[in-house]
Structure formats: C-alpha cells, structure tokens
C-alpha cells in the first residue's frame, strides 16, 4: 500500500520549522575618518577570511555606544538615528535592482578634532551690541552697550598712543567699597560724632570720592606746573649759555686785535662761567641717560624699547659733545691764565 500523504496542517508546520525567522534590519551606515574609511574599503574588497580579525565592532549594552577597531586603531563610536528611512538596493548586472534592507541608523566615529557645534548658530549669528542714545542711558541709570567695532577702534587707538608715547604713567585703582568697609569715617583724622557713627559706609562714600578726586586733580596740576617750570628753566639756561658763547667769541676777537690785561681777565671770567654752565648741562644729560637706562630695563614693549634706545644714543652723543667742549674751554682757560 502506498503511503498516504500527511495532512495539510502537518505539512505547513514542518515547512515553518525549516525557514529562518526574517531579520527586520541587518544594515547600517558606518561613518569613519578618511584614513580609516579607506582601510575598511580595502578589507571588505579583499574578502579574506581574516576580515573578522581586522575589523571589529563591540556594542555597549545600551546599544547607543560602541568601540570600532580597524587593525590596530580603536575608535569610539556612537549610534545615531537617521531623520528618515533609507532603502538599500543591490544589483548583479546593473540593470535589475532588488531591495535588501531598510536603513534607519548610522554608526559615527568622530576623530576628535572638530569642535563642539552646540548653539553654534546662536553664537555665530548673535545680535551685535549697539550703543544706546544718551537719553536711554540716563533713564536706565547705567552705561549702555558699545558696538564691538567702536571698542576695537578704541583699543587700537590706545595701543597706538602707547607705542608713540615717550613716557607713560599709571596708578593702581582700588574699589571704593573695600576702602569704605576698611575705614569707618569719611575722611581720616576728623572726629566722628555718635549720631553719625551709626550710618552705613555707603553714605560716606560720596564725600570720600570727591575728596580723592580733588586731591588727584591737585596732584596733576602740581605735576604739570613742575614740568612747565623745569622746561622753562632749561630754555633759560640754554639761552644764557648761547649768550655767553657769543660774548666769549667777541672777546676772543677783541683780544686778538689788541692784547690788554683787562680783556684777558674778562675772558677768563667768561670762560669760567661757560665751563660752569656746560658742567651743569652735562650733569643733567647724565641724569637723563641714567633714567632712560632704568626705563629700558623695565620695558617689555619692543616699539617703546627702540624709541627709548634711540633717545639714549642721542643723550650719549650730547654727553660726548659737552665733554669735548668742557675740555676745550679748560685748555683755553689754562692758556689765558699762564699768559
């Protein structure tokens, strides 16, 4: 007897057991730096059995981070979701295509050189700060914003003026709040009555500031007056020195025309006066040169250093000239004294 075929239900069950369960997604995009990407292409195209040894991917338990190893290089990777599903197609003859998978994720290996781009649009395209009108500034009670271009121009102007300056002054500014906390009274040295001693230090800050500002103004005025006095004194001494040189020249001419004892004594006096003025001038030049040397040791700005160096060389040249003039006058004095 021929065997009866099995029932239809049994056939379907056996058929289902033989088939593998379908894989919902078995492809993803791998994004690598250029050097490692070329290596991975070579490994895949070679098709060697040792491909699993050269290319390894270890996923973390959260399935969001991984470590990719290409030969001896290990790269940290991150699994990101794509904004849309991409269909992967395959062909053998470049005519007929059939779909193999739906790709919705990408494994990104960053090389660590690119800076973080979080809030890059807000940082790059932020609104520029503008200078507020004077009316708005006074209403707000605080200084308005200044345009970045204006700030840059002001900084460049200050740097240019510093580079061109012959000498510069600076002062250490201390916060008024710390001074007010340290000193209970507004002006030191004055007795404070018991009624006023209970007030806060902020009430005393206003007269203290005005007193400090007035003292600074007085100091600046005194410095300006001293500088003007010194410059006018130097100009007067130079004029006297020129007058003495002219008088001495005329007396030399008179003495050469008619030799007399009276003329010789007056010439000796004029030479002594001129030597005295020349020596004073030489001492001032030497003092200036010493100050220039001290400034050169402290300076760090190259432009200022070169400027002060040229001034120092000029002062040395003036010192040499004055020294030669003094030696010449001393020889003349010896000549007239012996005669």
Q: What is the DSSP string of 33-102?
A: -HHHHHHHHHHHHH--TTHHHHEEEEE-TTSSEEEEEETTEEEEEEEEEEEEEEEEEEESSSS-EEEEEE
Model pLDDT, residue 84: 92
- What span, in angstroms and rounded, lies between the C-alpha atoms of 149 and 172? 28
- What span, in angstroms and rounded, lies between the C-alpha atoms of 264 and 257? 12
- What span, in angstroms and rounded, lies between the C-alpha atoms of 322 and 284? 11
Q: Answer whether 73's CB lies under 8 Å from 36's CB.
A: yes
Show me where the domains of the chain are located.
25-109, 237-338
Q: Tell me: the pLDDT tens digits for 185-212?
A: 443 443 444 443 444 444 444 444 444 4
- What span, in angstroms and rounded, lies between the C-alpha atoms of 178 and 205? 11
Q: Is 186 exposed, middle or buried (0-12, 13-18, 19+ CB in 10 A)?
A: buried
Model pLDDT, residue 112: 64
Residues of the chain with pLDDT under 50: 1-12, 136-143, 180-215, 228
Nearest CA among 97, 120, 110 for reference residue 33:
110
Indicate the DSSP class of residue 166: S
- What span, in angstroms and rounded, lies between the C-alpha atoms of 40 and 46? 10
The set of residues, in sequence order, having a beta carbon less than 8 Å from that of 244 and lying 6+ positions away, is 270, 273, 274, 277
**pTM > 0.75: yes or no:** no
**SS3 state at 207:** helix
237-338 folds as Methane Monooxygenase Hydroxylase; Chain G, domain 1 (1.20.58)
């Amino acid at each position: 007897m021929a065997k009866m075929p099995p029932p239809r239900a049994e056939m379907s069950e056996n058929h289902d057991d033989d088939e593998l369960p379908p894989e919902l997604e078995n492809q993803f995009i791998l994004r690598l730096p250029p050097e490692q990407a070329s290596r991975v292409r070579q490994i895949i195209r070679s098709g060697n059995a040792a491909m699993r040894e050269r290319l390894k991917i270890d996923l973390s338990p959260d399935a969001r981070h991984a470590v990719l190893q290409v030969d001896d290089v290990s790269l940290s990777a991150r699994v990101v979701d794509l904004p849309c599903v991409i269909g992967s197609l395959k062909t053998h003859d470049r005519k007929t295509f059939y779909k193999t998978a739906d790709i919705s994720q990408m494994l990104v290996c960053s090389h660590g050189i690119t800076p973080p781009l979080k809030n890059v649009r807000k940082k790059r395209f932020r609104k520029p700060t503008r200078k507020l009108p004077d009316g708005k500034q006074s209403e707000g009670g605080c200084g308005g914003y200044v345009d970045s271009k204006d700030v840059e121009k002001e900084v460049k102007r200050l740097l240019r003026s510093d580079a061109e300056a012959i000498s510069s002054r600076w002062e250490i500014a201390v916060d008024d709040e710390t001074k007010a906390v340290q000193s209970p009274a507004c002006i030191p040295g004055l007795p404070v009555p018991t009624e006023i001693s209970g007030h806060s230090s902020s009430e005393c800050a206003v007269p203290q500031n005005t007193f400090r500002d007035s003292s600074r103004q007085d100091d600046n005025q005194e410095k300006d007056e001293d500088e003007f006095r010194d410059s006018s004194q130097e100009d007067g001494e130079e004029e006297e020195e020129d007058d003495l040189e002219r008088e001495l020249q005329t007396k030399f001419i008179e003495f050469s025309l008619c030799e007399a004892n009276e003329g010789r004594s007056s010439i000796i006096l004029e030479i002594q006066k001129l030597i005295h003025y020349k020596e004073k001038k030489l001492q001032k030049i030497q003092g200036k040169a010493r100050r220039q040397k001290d400034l050169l040791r402290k300076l760090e700005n190259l432009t200022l250093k070169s400027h002060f160096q040229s001034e120092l060389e000029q002062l040395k040249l003036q010192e040499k000239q004055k020294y030669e003039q003094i030696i010449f006058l001393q020889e003349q004095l010896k000549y007239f004294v012996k005669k």
